[in-house]
Amino acid sequence: MRRATRLIVDLHRLANQAGAGGTGDIGDILAIAAGTLGADAAVLLRPADEDGALSVVRAHPAAPLAPIRVPGDLGTDGGAGEWDRLGDHLARSLSLPDIRWSRDADSGLILALGYAGDAEPAPAPADDPFLQDVLQAVLLTCRTVEERTRLTRALEGSRLAVADADRTKADFLALMGHELRTPLNAVIGFSELIASQAFGPLGSARYVDYAGTVLKSGMDLLAIIDTVLDFAQGSDRIGTPEDTAVDLYAVVSTACKLVQVRADRSQVLVDAAIPEALPAIRGDRRMLGQVVVHLLSNAIAATTPEGRVTVTIRRAEDGGLVLSVADTGIGMTPAAIADALRPADRTDIFMARRFKGAGLGLPLVREIAELHQGRLAITSRPGDGTTVTVALPPERLIDRSAATAP
């Protein structure tokens, strides 16, 4: 009884060690079971196929053992008359004259204790229910350790898969960054040459103006691409906004020019109702430009032909400014709004419209708004359009005369 009690305590300790990522394993369990019950060897077996083969899971002392073939007419359910027959078969297979064994009905695991000829074997389990219970406790511990080890390996595999997916995403974004920046840098470089008339006059002042618009649009687009890719990679390089005076009227006007081609292609009217006498905003002009471009792009993508997108700026009750972009498009459900605000995700309704944006517009807008101590709000209903507002606090307002030129 004392030996059995000590065995149960040791088994409990090993099971806890295995569950906590410790060093306890099945080999230790077999060693303790053999030593406590006076056996010369302990072997854990598992059914390997339907033809009666038993594969060796672990053995103590450790030794390479081939699968054991059980005769087809010999059961392994521990029924009357089969203890001695299976014991004799295992004894011949393991080269030990005397075997005591037990089987776990749920997992099919078999624990076999082997005794040399000069050892005094334990009573046969069929003749000693207490010994059978002890062997079942050993089997249960082995099964628990096996399951915990399997779970640990599965979790480690999942962790490695996630890490591999992150590396793949980073590689893809790096490639996309190169593929986007390379042609865009060419556009910027050549438009700068044309705008400066480096090789002679163009013949018309309009061409110079057009080239300047292409140059500025290209530089703004390059800045947006950099920020979006950083955001998609989970980078913190979006950083702190610059504290420069920004003319929101100029920012909105530039953004409308950037999306005009897309709007014309989609047959969507973009209307800007921005009073020129607005106070300037203390913030980052590039970031605020990204906010307006993303909101306009999303609104155009969600609006059916002949629809309208309206951008307005008004004074809030607290003295701040509220930028609103409203569309007459397909609208969104509350669940779709929640999806759209998740980084690197798109709503199903936009997918149905074959929305071709980066899917990062609203999360990026929200982050930029919060960097300016502002807040983002969305009101929408399916079939009734969407209005996205960005409220900037009065602390961000400065004298309009201090605003920088676009």
Residue-wise pLDDT tens digits, 12-42: 666 665 544 444 578 888 888 888 888 888 8
User: How many CB atoms lie under 10 A from the CB of residue 168?
Assistant: 10
Residue 137 has pLDDT above 90, yes or no: no
What one-character DSSP code corresponds to residue 112? E
Three-state DSSP state, 267: coil
Average pLDDT over residues 54-77: 65
Domain 2-157 CATH class label:
alpha beta
**So what's the architecture of 244-402 in CATH?**
2-Layer Sandwich (3.30)
What band does 406 get if pLDDT is binned at 50, 70 and 90? Answer: very low
Q: What order do you get walking across the sheet with 308-315 strand by strand?
A: 269-273, 308-315, 321-327, 386-392, 375-380
| Residue 353 and residue 283 in contact, taking contact as beta carbons nearer than 8 Å | no
| Confidence at residue 389, expressed as pLDDT on a 0 to 100 scale | 95
**Which burial class, exposed, middle or buried, applies to 20 when counting CB atoms under 10 A from its CB (0-12, 13-18, 19+)?**
exposed
Cα–Cα distance, 272 to 290 (Å, whole number): 16
From residue 255, alpha-carbon distances to 76, 295, 308, 374 in Å are: 78, 10, 16, 20
Cα–Cα distance, 296 to 220 (Å, whole number): 15
- Phi, psi of 329, rounded to the nearest 5 degrees: -85, -155
Three-state DSSP state, 39: coil
pTM: 0.48
| Confidence at residue 214, expressed as pLDDT on a 0 to 100 scale | 87
| Confidence at residue 359, expressed as pLDDT on a 0 to 100 scale | 38
Which residues, in sequence order, are bridge partners of residue 322? Answer: 314, 391
Of 133, 135, 153, the C-alpha closest to 99 is 135
The string of pLDDT tens digits covering residues 205-219 is 888 888 888 887 887
Contacts of 70 (CB under 8 A, 6+ apart): 52, 53, 54, 76, 86, 89
The string of pLDDT tens digits covering residues 353-377 is 344 443 347 888 898 899 999 999 9
To 5 degrees, how large is the angle CA 161–CA 164–CA 166?
A: 110
To 5 degrees, how large is the angle CA 136–CA 88–CA 103?
A: 20
Omega before residue 61 within 30° of 0, cis: yes
Residue 162 has pLDDT above 90, yes or no: no
Of 188, 296, 302, 307, the C-alpha closest to 252 is 296
The string of pLDDT tens digits covering residues 306-342 is 999 999 999 998 889 999 999 999 999 998 888 888 7
**Which burial class, exposed, middle or buried, applies to 308 when counting CB atoms under 10 A from its CB (0-12, 13-18, 19+)?**
middle
Question: Tokens for 307?
Answer: 């629809």
